[in-house]
Amino acid sequence: MKTQRSFPAEKPDVTCPFFERDWGELQANLVTTSIVKQVEVHTFECGCCCSDVPFEEMVQCADGHLFCCVCLRKSIEESTYGTLPASAALLCLDMAGCDQTIPLSELRRVVEFNLLSKYEERQANDCIAKARLEGLVRCPFCNFACDLDVGIDVLDCPSCWKKSCVKCKEPSHEPLRCEQVEKPSDTEHRRQIEEIMTGSILRHCTACKAVLIKDGGCNKIKCRCGQSMCYVCRSAITDYKHFCNHFREPGKGCSTCKGCFLWDQEDSDAVVLHAKRAALKRKAMDDPNILTREIGPAETLFVSKRKR
């Protein structure tokens, strides 16, 4: 077996199983080679890119012009994701200027299902845009387009079966007006502002960091851990020497010392309102329109309480 085996032109009289196997393979190879030599691959010129392409890899328009599948796919991709318009029917790509369309059966034969679906969706959107419908409204949940009559404020989408407000694009909130409904983006703003408002009237123990709040009484408070602190300046104290013990007129400061007042009560509503306004100003740096919306408790609530 060091040299290649030679095969005789005619089959010998003695039967050999190995020879029978090799003889069959040799005859099959000879037949296949002769068939391949007889078959000629016919190519045609693409009417778009002028490349020579086998007939099996070509597409034809309704008038019979041939162009390759590669050019067709690129044209559909550009119409779907690019700047080319997606017309109601795809026109022939032949450079001769044919105005015939490409049958849908040809598109389905060579174009992937996902790409063809996106192309048909782009076709529908372009046709709707060209119609310039005055009552055209899109569903905010599935982007389905509907033509509504004048005066209808709620879109009942026939695609996703969800109801939405035509004006604010939020879920339907009938019978409330749009300005009476809090948007999801405003909900997070409100939560943050309310936390700041609450934190403005809370105190934290200087020892154990427990949250403290006073509802009446003097300004010397004592935590359950045993730590005493001033409710006014929030500093740790040991006795009443921290507070002013001089006579003074109500509502005025002491001219003798700078100590805190033992019995003065904090105006919680004023502190909370000031904290809210400061928080809104900080958020307005990122969203200037936030000052035009009602975020958090209304200021009239604090004003009316102070008047009472």
Region at 196 (left for phi over 0; alpha for psi -120 to 50; beta for the rest): alpha
Alpha-carbon distance 141 to 216, whole Å?
52
137-181 residue pLDDT tens: 888 888 888 888 888 888 888 888 888 888 888 888 888 887 777
> How buried is 178 (Cβ within 10 angstroms: 0-12 exposed, 13-18 middle, 19+ buried)?
middle
Q: What is the pLDDT of residue 66?
A: 87
Catalytic residue, candidates 218, 225, 244, 257: 218
146 is catalytic: no
- The one-letter code for the residue type at 152 is I
Closest among 244, 205, 253 to 225, alpha carbons compared: 205
7-21 residue pLDDT tens: 555 655 666 777 677
Q: What is the pLDDT of residue 34?
A: 53
Model confidence at 111: pLDDT above 70? yes
pLDDT band at residue 305 using 50, 70 and 90 as cut-offs: low
Would you say how long the chain is, in residues? 308
Alpha-carbon distance 119 to 79, whole Å?
7
Element of type H or E holding 269: helix 268-284
Q: What is the pLDDT of residue 151?
A: 81
SS3 assignment, position 163: strand
Mean pLDDT for the chain overall: 78
For the residues 82-98, what does the mean pLDDT come to? 76
CB neighbours of 95 closer than 8 A, spacing ≥ 6?
47, 48
Q: What percent of the chain has pLDDT over 70?
A: 80
201-221 residue pLDDT tens: 888 888 888 888 887 788 888
Which has the higher per-residue pLDDT, 268 or 113? 113
Alpha-carbon distance 291 to 181, whole Å?
16
263-302 residue pLDDT tens: 888 777 788 888 888 887 887 777 777 666 666 666 655 5
Strand partners, 137: 146
> How buried is 151 (Cβ within 10 angstroms: 0-12 exposed, 13-18 middle, 19+ buried)?
exposed
Instruction: Decide: 276 and 268 in contact? Cβ < 8 Å.
Output: no
**Tokens encoding 288:** 């200037």
218-233 residue pLDDT tens: 888 888 888 888 888 8
**Tokens encoding 153:** 């404020």
For the residues 52-67, what does the mean pLDDT come to? 86
pLDDT band at residue 36 using 50, 70 and 90 as cut-offs: very low
Instruction: Decide: 200 and 272 in contact? Cβ < 8 Å.
Output: yes
DSSP letter, residue 250: T
CB neighbours of 242 closer than 8 A, spacing ≥ 6?
220, 230, 235, 259, 260
